[in-house]
Each structure stands twice: as C-alpha cells, then as structure tokens.
Structure 1
C-alpha cells in the first residue's frame, strides 16, 4: 500500500526539492513537509487517511479502517512492520490467523474511533492502534491463562513496562496517542474472547508453556 501511495504522490510533479529524485515519482516529499520520508499529507488524505471532517460531513466512515493501512513514511512503516514481526507472528502461531487478524482489524477500528473523538483538526494514519490492540490482547491473554504460565510475574511486568513506555513516548508531537489507547483497550477486551487457551488440555498433557516476553520498538 505504501508503494501505491508513493506512486500516487508523484513528488517531482509538485516539487523541485524532492528527496531521492532518482526514484522518479516514488521519491519523497521534502523533509520540511514530511521528515519520515513519505508522501504529502494531501496524498495521504486522498488515499484514505482519517479525517474527521470527511468522516462526519462526507459520510466516509470507511476512513476509520483505511487509515490503518497507510503510513506517513519509510520510518513509520519500518517501525510498524518490525512490531508486527515481533508480536503478530508469535500470536498467529499460537492462536491462528483468523483470531489474530480479527483482533488486529477491530483494534485498529477502535483506535481510529477514539482518535476521531479527540483529534479533529489533523489527519491520522498508521497501524499503531491495531498493534497496541495486539499488546492489549497479549495482556488479557496472560491474565486469562495465568495458571498455565511459568515465569508469569516476569512476563506480566515486562509486558506492562513495554506498554507504559510506548504510551509515554506517545506524548511526543505528531504521535496519535488516542489511537494507541483506543486500540489497546479494544484489544484488551477482545483478548478475553479470542485468545483463550484450552487450559484443561494443557494440564492434561502436563505442559506449562513459558511466559513469552515480547520486545517492541516504538509504534
């Protein structure tokens, strides 16, 4: 999706100071416009960024979902992809594509919804709300299946610290912390539904999986 967005952006057509002009229409907007190495805000808006005015006045509710598949730049995209590799793949291996996929998408919607309620003057893009939903789901899964985890206290403390640090970083400019919070709360609640292990089966096998301790870079 990012490649398509950059193709539509076509920086050389609008600016003489594009970054990496050798990339042609895939080159990036000037740093003063987008320091993340990405498209213009106008292009993001055109491609489906969360814009409250368009959602309300233009009846474009689909933006609450589409914004989760857009990214502000290369740095933004890489950070989220790394987080998906660290968190998403592990969850998918344990609970399956369908459950984790639903958790991801619905959490992203929840993050967009809370963002739209509190941030109405700027556009918003990114999968951070959905990724925080995965973190929330991990926390509720740990709580629900507490009895079958070894090193449970260490896993719980580590996960809470990771969540707290990322929320703290979210107070920096240009970071939509409301999307983070909305996604986290959605994922936390959904985790009690989607991420329940067959506990009795584990006990019957005499198996107690180690509490996995995730690492996460800034979303």
Structure 2
C-alpha cells in the first residue's frame, strides 16, 4: 500500500502488514499511521464455506476432501478458525502460513524507492516499535533492494492454473483425472521417463490430480514463494524450484517406480527446504528475530505434511522428501550475508547451484536410464501377435469342427502359424522385461508373473492341441481346452497401474 507524508509530501510504499501501525517518515521523522484494513465479512464467510467443503466429506465418506494432495482435515479446520477468529488467531497457533505469506510478519517495513534500488543501498528506517520490529523492517528493506520484484512466484502459479484449465477444457476430469489422461499430459512414470521421455521430470510438476490438489499446492507455494524468491533472488529461486521438482521426480522413479505421479509438491517442498537451510544455518544472513518469526510456520508445514504423507498411500512422499533435500542443499549454497557484495555473491552461488543441479540430474539419468520396462508398452506389441495368432487359431478350430480341413493341414497350421509365432513372441517378451518389471512395484511384479503364466498356458494348450490332432488323443484335447480356459481366467482379472499424487 502507499501512504503520503503530510509534512514533506514524500510518497512511501509500505508493506500491507503495516495496516493500523505507526511508522516514522524516513525523510522528516513525521509520525504516520498506515490505513487499517479490516477483513471483509464476505471474505470470511466465503472462507468459512470453503472450510465446510473440506470438512463435510469427512463425516460422509470417512475422509476429508483433498486427501490426495495434502492434509484436507487441517485445511478445513484452518479455514473454520479463520472464519471465527481471523488471520491473527491462525498466526498464534502456528498456522499463519495458510492465510499470510511466510516472512510477512514485519511490522515496520518501508520499501525503497526506485533510485535506491538502482544504487543498491538501503536508507535507514526509523521504526516506532521495539528492536525486533526494527530488525525485521531493515531486513525486508534489504531484500527489496536486492530483489525489487518477486515475479516468478505469481508466474509459476499462473502457469500451473493455466495448464490445469486447459486440461479441464480438453476433457480431463476436474476432480479425479484418469491415468491415461495424466500420462498423455506428461505425468511422471518410471518406465516412460527413464525410457527416453526425460521431459516428464519437468512437465509432471505442472500437472495436478484434481482441483483440490492444485488448490492446496498453489496456496502453500504462494504463502512462502515470494519471500524465498526475494531471499535468494529471481534466478536462484528459479533454480531451486526447477531442480527440486526434477530431483523429486527422480526420487519417485527410484522409490515408487510403478506409480504415475504428478504435482508441484516436490518443487514446493524444495522451496521450503531452501528456507529451512536459512533457518538452520542462516544466523549470518537472516536476523535472529526474523528466523524466529519464520521458523514456526516453515517447520510446522514440513513436519505435518511429512507425517500426514507417511500415513497416506496416495501421497507421493518420495517426491516430497527428494524435493525437500534438493531445496535444502540449494539453500546451503545460496545462503549468504545480505551485504553490499550480495549481488556478486548471488551470481557465483547461482552458478554453483546450476552446476550441482546438472550433476545431480546427470547422475540420476545414468542410475535410472532404461532400468524399467513399461509393461503396457510391451503388452501392446505382444497383443498384435496375440490377435493374429488367436484369429488363426479360432478359424482353424471352426474348420476342424465342420470337417472342412484335414488333420494334417490342421497340424501344419498349429505348428507354423500358431505355435511358432507365439513361442517367439513369448521369448522376446521375457527377454525385454526380465529384471525390469519386478523393480517397479510388488503389484507390477505380480502382474508380470500372471502375464507370463498366461502366455505359457496358451503355449502349452497349443502344443497339447497339436499332439491331440497328430495322435488322435481326446484326453490331450480336453487338457488343451482346460489350459485355454485357465489362461482366459487370468486375463479377465488383470489390472495395470496405480496412481500417486503429490
């Protein structure tokens, strides 16, 4: 917000959190009172309704809305508390990050003018509060000089929302997208990603599994993004977000390779990890009062989200922890005193983060490249052989039943057009998938075992049928039919993939 000094006519740009606070003009020391804005009853009523939206399904279905993307119960409770007590109540109990951006607790921050930003020096700030307020105000002013505009945070939110809107317009379900749709739009799935589609490590960070998923992720990201962006700079923030998301994707590939994963949580956790690096080791770069103000929100978010994710199989904890670790390491590199040489130090440290990120991504590609087999892709080409063979088999059986084909011709077709191509396809399928499907997940391993059993049963049935025709053996014909029925029963009970949201 802006406020004008009645004494010297200086126009000051001040933080919104100064509403109702008294500050002193840095030019003439005139006491000024910032306009006080009150939360609109309409806004609080709307937030209360949103809280009910999160809470009602818990009583109807036994779980809160939004469990796929975060702790929906917490969101519901937080929104209801906001409805009754406003933002200050949430701040007191450690949930302030849900309604007020992290780092927004400064009481007396006056942003520098454009000329001062260009000069890169801060003017003294006279605060009418205690020393804590002075520390926070001076710190925020330093950040505003080093990073005048935190434009990447809103840009990233806009990109995520735009992609989601386009997906919905294209027919993707707004609450529960299908796996095939997520894969088509670029979700992360180990066999596809490590099979050459490495771009999925980036695109998956801009896809979300339903409207609640994206709403929660973007809400939490917005609450911390702009502060961290000012703390590490625009380029540093971009590198943290990018590398955290990609490393989180690699963690999913290694930890949950059989899961189709999408969401920005890996990158968001990386941003929080970067902040935690400043909180843990940043006494030389972030004032102690600021660290205390930030610590509750950041630590609370990470701990609760990790604990919640550990008990919810639909949450991709691998991406969360991988992104958190990448962000923390990036924060250790980017952490520095915010002095006169900060701009030069940022460039050097950004380069170090870039090099570390490239090395980490390269190592991930080497470790995971061509490590997994996409069972659906393998089944797709095997299905073409299956369709041809079974068509020929059924046609030959019909001719044999009507007596329009001799036993010798029947045996020849079984041997050359049915058994030989089926046996070759089975051998190729086993060689392509050996040791690769089992790494995906227990479920995929069981699926692979059933498929191989189905293929072997069909082959045994064809071979028994050939022996029955050549030896006129009715018992072998009955055994062949029994194996065909057993193989068909396996096919009727197959399912392919599982999903995971982050």
Question: Which residue does 2:332 correspond to in 1?
Answer: 192
Question: Which residue does 1:65 correspond to in 2?
Answer: 202
What CA RMSD, in Å, does the superposition of the two structures yield over aligned residues? 2.2
Per-residue deviation, 1:149: 1.8
Question: Which residue does 2:271 correspond to in 1?
Answer: 134
Question: Which residue does 1:179 correspond to in 2?
Answer: 319
Distance 1:96 1:191 in 2: 12
Per-residue deviation, 1:161: 3.2
Question: Which residue does 1:106 correspond to in 2?
Answer: 243
Distance 2:208 2:264 in 1: 8
Question: Which residue does 1:88 correspond to in 2?
Answer: 225
- Tell me the alpha carbon deviations over residues 103-147 of structure 1, each in whole angstroms, 9 at most, x when there is no partner: 011000111101110101120000000000011100112233214
Question: Which residue does 2:187 correspond to in 1?
Answer: 49
Give unmatched runs, 5+ long, in structure 1.
12-27, 30-36, 203-218
1:3 aligns with 2:168: no
Q: Is the 8 A contact 2:282 2:335 kept in 1?
A: no
Distance 2:300 2:216 in 1: 19
- Secondary structure of residue in 2 paired with 1:124: strand
- Secondary structure of residue in 2 paired with 1:170: helix
1:78 aligns with 2:78: no
Q: Is the 8 A contact 1:110 1:186 kept in 2?
A: yes
Tell me which structure has the larger Cα radius of gyration. Answer: 2
- Tell me the alpha carbon deviations over residues 45-86 of structure 1, each in whole angstroms, 9 at most, x when there is no partner: 001000111123x31111111111100110001011101210
Count of residues paired in the alignment: 178
Distance 2:337 2:299 in 1: 21
1:121 aligns with 2:294: no
Q: Is the 8 A contact 2:236 2:334 kept in 1?
A: yes
TM-score w.r.t. length of structure 2: 0.33
Question: Which residue does 1:34 correspond to in 2?
Answer: none
Per-residue deviation, 1:196: 2.6
> Which of residues 168, 174, 183 in structure 1 aligns to 2:307?
168
TM-score w.r.t. length of structure 1: 0.73
Question: Which residue does 1:210 correspond to in 2?
Answer: none
Distance 1:158 1:77 in 2: 21
Per-residue deviation, 1:155: 4.1
Q: Is the 8 A contact 1:111 1:182 kept in 2?
A: yes
Q: Is the 8 A contact 1:6 1:38 kept in 2?
A: no
- Secondary structure of residue in 2 paired with 1:123: strand
Larger CA deviation: 92-101 vs 152-161: 152-161
Per-residue deviation, 1:157: 5.3
Distance 2:300 2:169 in 1: 39
Q: Is the 8 A contact 1:107 1:130 kept in 2?
A: yes
Give unmatched runs, 5+ long, in structure 2.
1-162, 343-501
- RCO comparison, higher one (Cα < 8 Å, 6+): 1
Distance 1:158 1:80, change over 3 A: closer
Larger CA deviation: 87-96 vs 61-70: 87-96
